[in-house]
């Protein structure tokens, strides 16, 4: 049981830093790049990216929409992010809903490696000092258009809009052919993300029915 909570603490404190991808550290000391683009979710669709940083090397991440649900009176989409680690597939599933021009996290489920899945309430996140902040749904609101460019990646060739962050910190190439973020490529000083595979018929990788974190913590 002690080992389980060691994994959980690493996962939650490192991973759930959404909107900074939520993949930071992934229970394995790896800091991931920001997941940004133009939010256009479609159930069953997704994308796999090769993430590369000077500090952490290369790692592949999958991002997919695995369901839709109304919560708190708001229609939302379940976005699932998966990264492989020595502990097994690290999975984070978040229910995201539009709030004006921002995305708000309504619910969250995590599955650290081969452990059983658990749901973490937003109240618990606040108690852990990991309060979820709204995320901009459209990177173009904080960027300047560079032009239209054709980008070739392992996933194919795409005609993209090239946008550059107003603070010059990153460049983004986006298309409406990729869901949920439309991103084909992202570069910054320290990291890159490149589309390597388009996913269709995506299914959740969460195994079984998640238990509430509060109930699991009471377990002897």
The pLDDT tens digits of the residues spanning 172-186 come to 999 999 999 999 999
What pLDDT score does 107 carry?
87
Determine the pLDDT at residue 84: 75
Element (H, E) at 157: strand 156-165
Reported as a pLDDT band with limits 50, 70 and 90, residue 120 is confident
User: Hey, which bits of 39-128 come out as E strands?
Assistant: 46-53, 57-71, 74-85, 88-99, 102-111, 118-119
pTM of this structure: 0.81
Instruction: Quote the DSSP letter at residue 140.
Output: G
The yes-or-no verdict on residue 190 having pLDDT over 70 is yes
- The mean per-residue pLDDT over the stretch 131-153 comes to 90
Please write the tens of the pLDDT for every residue from 12-47: 444 433 333 333 433 333 333 347 899 999 999 999
Q: Rounded distance, CA 128 to CA 145, Å? A: 38
Mean pLDDT of the chain, nearest integer? 80
What pLDDT, on a 0 to 100 scale, did the predictor assign at position 28? Answer: 32
C-alpha distances in Å from residue 85, one per residue of 61, 136, 146: 11, 28, 36
DSSP state of 179: S
Q: What is the mean pLDDT of residues 182-209?
A: 93
Q: What is the pLDDT of residue 185?
A: 96
């Amino acid at each position: 049981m002690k080992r389980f909570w060691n994994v959980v603490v690493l996962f939650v404190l490192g991973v759930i830093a959404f909107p900074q991808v939520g993949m930071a550290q992934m229970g394995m000391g790896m800091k991931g790049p920001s997941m940004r683009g133009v939010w256009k979710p479609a159930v069953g669709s997704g994308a796999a990216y090769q993430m590369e940083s000077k500090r952490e090397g290369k790692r592949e991440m999958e991002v997919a929409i695995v369901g839709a649900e109304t919560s708190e009176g708001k229609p939302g989409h379940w976005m699932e992010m998966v990264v492989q680690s020595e502990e097994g597939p690290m999975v984070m599933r978040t229910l995201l809903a539009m709030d004006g021009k921002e995305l708000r996290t309504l619910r969250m489920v995590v599955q650290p490696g081969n452990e059983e899945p658990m749901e973490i309430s937003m109240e618990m996140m606040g108690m852990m000092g990991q309060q979820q902040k709204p995320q901009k749904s459209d990177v173009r609101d904080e960027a300047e258009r560079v032009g239209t460019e054709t980008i070739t990646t392992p996933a194919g060739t795409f005609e993209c809009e090239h946008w550059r962050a107003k603070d010059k910190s990153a460049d983004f190439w986006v298309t409406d052919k990729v869901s949920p973020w439309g991103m084909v490529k992202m570069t910054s000083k320290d990291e890159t993300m490149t589309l390597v595979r388009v996913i269709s018929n995506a299914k959740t990788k969460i195994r079984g029915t998640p238990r509430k974190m509060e109930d699991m913590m009471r377990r002897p």
